[in-house]
Amino acid sequence: MKVVKQESGPEDADDKGDMPRADDGYVPSQRRLDRELYKRARARRATGIAALSTLVTAAVLYLVVVNAPGWPRTKETFFSAEYAREAFPKVLEGLWLNVRLLLVCGVAVLVLGMLIAVARTLRGPVFFPLRALAAAYTDFFRGLPLIINLMIVVLGVPALRLQGVTVDPVLLGGTALTLTYSAYVAEVFRAGIESVHPSQRAAARSLGLTNRQALRHVVLPQAVRRQVPPLLNDLVSLQKDTGLVSIGGAIDAVRAADIIVGRSLNYTPYIVAGLVFVALTIPMTRLTDWVTARMDRQRAQGGTI
């Protein structure tokens, strides 16, 4: 005789929204089937309402913009297809410099930020000078506007005429970006380190680990894992701010657009450059959202310490 397993009610069902399968004699209850169908119907209804409201909003904005008195002139100045076709390949070529700056500066920022954060969390009076220097560094570069930092480094360092010091605006601009963003990232790492409960370090010490080993194998892995979402947000901001190196003359996406604008007095290349940066930023933003949601689920389930 075949035994059929029957559910007692929807309270035993999970909240994933997936229709159960009748495997190995398992038969879902009619109540659960009705519940799943109701949830799917609500999801379809919500999707339809969201799509309709989006279309209505977009249509209203379009009508407001195209019926504005200055729209014809604005369209010609900012949305010219001719200048967009001319600017796109040059902006795309300059974007490669921004991508390289992001990769190199991103790694440098993470390393320097981690070192500064560790220096700020060192214990004992002997490390007070190191802690004070790290705190002064973060306070100074977090308070100094990035554009001023770039001008000081990109324009001021070559004026010193130091032997052996580069005057390449790309390298100097990358250095300024690293100095500023490492201060922000250091505070993110420090917050992660201080969020680890002291009992974790004490437990590691009780197992025979030294302070350095406890920091490396116990504290830092937990701190970094907890701070992944804000770190990714800082990298997204760094990706956008790489366009500021153009103030030193580096031919990146922004500078390539600026050259065409200066020659034609048409601002469409700026729109093209902006859209290219947006297209580059959106995947990183969605990755940040996905990582944040994943870590929230793990934390809710007890999977993340």
Q: What is the mean pLDDT of residues 211-226?
A: 82
CB 179 within 8 A of CB 141: yes
- List, for residues 46-73, the tens digit of each pLDDT value: 999 999 999 999 999 989 988 888 888 9
SS3 call for 27: strand
Q: What is the mean pLDDT of residues 276-289?
A: 85
Q: What single-letter DSSP state applies at residue 166?
A: -
SS3 call for 26: strand
For the chain, count helices (H), then strands (E): 13, 2
Distance of CA 74 to the CA centre of its chain: 32
Q: Decide if domain 80-300 falls under CATH 1.10.150.110.
A: no
Q: How many residues does the chain have?
A: 305
14: pLDDT strictly greater than 80: no
- The mean-pLDDT minimum among 24-33, 45-54, 93-102, 142-151 falls in 24-33
CB 138 within 8 A of CB 207: no
Instruction: Give the chain's mean pLDDT.
Output: 84
SS3 call for 141: helix
Query: Which residues is 5 bridged to in the sheet?
Result: 26
Which tokens belong to 251?
Answer: 């031919």
- List, for residues 190-202, the tens digit of each pLDDT value: 988 888 888 888 8
Q: What is the mean pLDDT of residues 282-286?
A: 84
Distance of CA 144 to the CA centre of its chain: 21
- List, for residues 123-158, the tens digit of each pLDDT value: 888 889 999 999 999 999 999 999 999 999 998 888
- pLDDT value of position 16: 45
- List, for residues 169-179, the tens digit of each pLDDT value: 899 999 999 99
CB 102 within 8 A of CB 237: no
Q: What is the mean pLDDT of residues 29-56?
A: 90
Report the 3 state secondary structure along 139-180.
HHHHHCCHHHHHHHHHHHHHHHCCCCCCCCHHHHHHHHHHHH
* % of the chain surpassing 70 pLDDT: 90
Tell me the C-alpha distance between 155 and 105, whole Å.
19
290: pLDDT strictly greater than 90: no
23: pLDDT strictly greater than 80: no
94: pLDDT strictly greater than 60: yes
Tell me the C-alpha distance between 137 and 129, whole Å.
12
SS3 call for 228: helix
Angle between helices 169-195 and 228-241 (to 10 degrees): 160
Model confidence at 302, pLDDT cuts 50, 70, 90, reads low
Q: What single-letter DSSP state applies at residue 24?
A: T
pTM of the complete model beyond 0.85: no
CB 281 within 8 A of CB 239: yes
- pLDDT value of position 24: 57
